[in-house]
Amino acid sequence: MRKFVSRSPITNEVLKSFDFVTDSQVKNQIQLAKKGFDTHKKLNFKQRSEKLMNLSQLITTNAEKYAELITTEIGKPITQSLGEVKKSAAHCRYYAENLEKILKIERVKTEARKSYVIHEPLGTIYQISPFNFPFWLVFKGVIPIMSSGNGVLARTSDSTPLVGLAVEELFREAGFDSNEFQNIFSSPEQLENICESKFIHGVSFTGSTQAGSKIAQVAGKYLKKSIMELGGSDPFIVCFDADLDLAVELAVKSRIANAGQVCISAKRFIISDIIYDKFVEKLTKRVQNIKIGDPFNPQIELGPLARSDLLINLQKQIEQSVQQGGKLLYGGDRAIIHGLEKGNFIKPAIVEVNQENILAQQETFGPVFALLRFKKENEVVQIANNSLYGLGGTIISKDIDRAEELAKQIETGSVFINEMNKTDSRLPSGGCKLSGYGRECSHFGTYEFTNIKTIWIS
């Protein structure tokens, strides 16, 4: 029977499990959330900012504890887990310091004596987050939502319940102690009941496109505002004039982060024909030297995949790619780590493919480098945009003006030039096409779940 299960990806041992809450418990938590929202929305900017700063300081003080918990539940290398925690603290601090500026009254000059725009909270938002960044992806969406005065019911991934409980405790310790933020162990079948409630005013989801489509349908049925940040198959374009050492460094850093389980990581490596062979040679040499093993070892670059089913699916994608004509240049098989033989470890794979190959068409959630060639600039745009997804992208080139013009033609929510794609509290985060809609982070993320109200005084 399905439930929330914390299982070590290093040993595949079950650490702890939790049953789904009952329908009556869901109803009770929604009622508590309504009362929490009624309290939270009355706080002024200074009071909200103080709580957000408390949250940031608590995270910073206990950063190592939370990093160890993340690594325990999903196998992320400990240095990356620590980076995730510190990023969450900085996110809270950013909104604490900029909240009043973001939500200030916008005065508009009209023929009225006075006319202006204000942003009011909607109510309680149901947030559903995935396993791959169980700490950051809660804070990334929740902090903009709550900074405007909304409340949150947060459903973490089925496989990261311990992180979910730890985050709830953090919010309470920081002063969010009126149930304006609650962790909820709800089942997928309870989505309808939650969205149907008059006390739930929106849905925020980060995860797969398939799940996002179903969740968006239910939210739409009850006319609940929703944000969907879904899958990606990001292009990583290496132009003929690129600094190849930089290109390889960023390619590897992006693709093996969190064992490749990142929506916005580079997945399709589109390389100029002129420098293709040199790039592949440098990339292969670097990938062969990646340190794989126990994620609690600070020297390790690549830990296990978070779940065994993810490992099985990734291996199937690689096998199917080869059957379709893909050329496997390196890796793709299980990595057997002494003392951790039951762990979900895999060697990074480098595969030459064409545009129709499964690795170019589907999202791959693991350390797989799908390589494609291009000869002309108009060809690279076509290859990059030949995807159902539109989350992010990267361009490596010494000609910044040309790269900037190229970036404008790429159909994604963001494009980074000479840097790997990443999220930033100051900039909007989201995608287009089957990568979803809506934005998190920056003032755009704050406005998503607000009533943008016009006031006119004649």
The 3-class secondary structure across the chain, one letter per residue, is CCCEEEECCCCCCEEEEECCCCHHHHHHHHHHHHHHHHHHCCCCHHHHHHHHHHHHHHHHHCHHHHHHHHHHHHCCCHHHHHHHHHHHHHHHHHHHHHHHHHCCCEECCCCCCEEEEEEEECCEEEEECCCCCCCHHHHHHHHHHHHCCCEEEEECCCCCHHHHHHHHHHHHHHCCCCCCEEECCCCHHHHHHHHHCCCEEEEEEECCHHHHHHHHHHHHHCCCEEEEECCCCEEEEECCCCCHHHHHHHHHHHHHHHHHCCCCCEEEEEEECCCHHHHHHHHHHHHHCCCECCCCCCCCCECCCCCHHHHHHHHHHHHHHHHCCCEEEECCCECCCCCCCCCCCECCEEEECCCCCHHHHCCCCCCEEEEEEECCHHHHHHHHHCCCEECCCEEECCCHHHHHHHHCCCCCCCCEECCCCCCCCCCCECCEECCEECCECHHHHHHCCEEEEEEEEC
The active-site residue, picked from 92, 195, 239, 263, is 263
Is 229 in the active site? yes
CB neighbour list of residue 341: distance below 8 Å, 6 or more residues apart = none
What are the tokens at 228? 């969907």
Per the CB < 8 A criterion, the answer to whether 380 and 237 are in contact is: yes
Per the CB < 8 A criterion, the answer to whether 393 and 414 are in contact is: yes
Is 263 in the active site? yes
The active-site residue, picked from 180, 229, 301, 352, is 229
Q: Which of 290, 301, 267, 287 is CA-nearest to residue 369?
A: 267
Q: Which of 354, 365, 283, 352 is CA-nearest to residue 316?
A: 365
Residues marked as catalytic: 229, 263
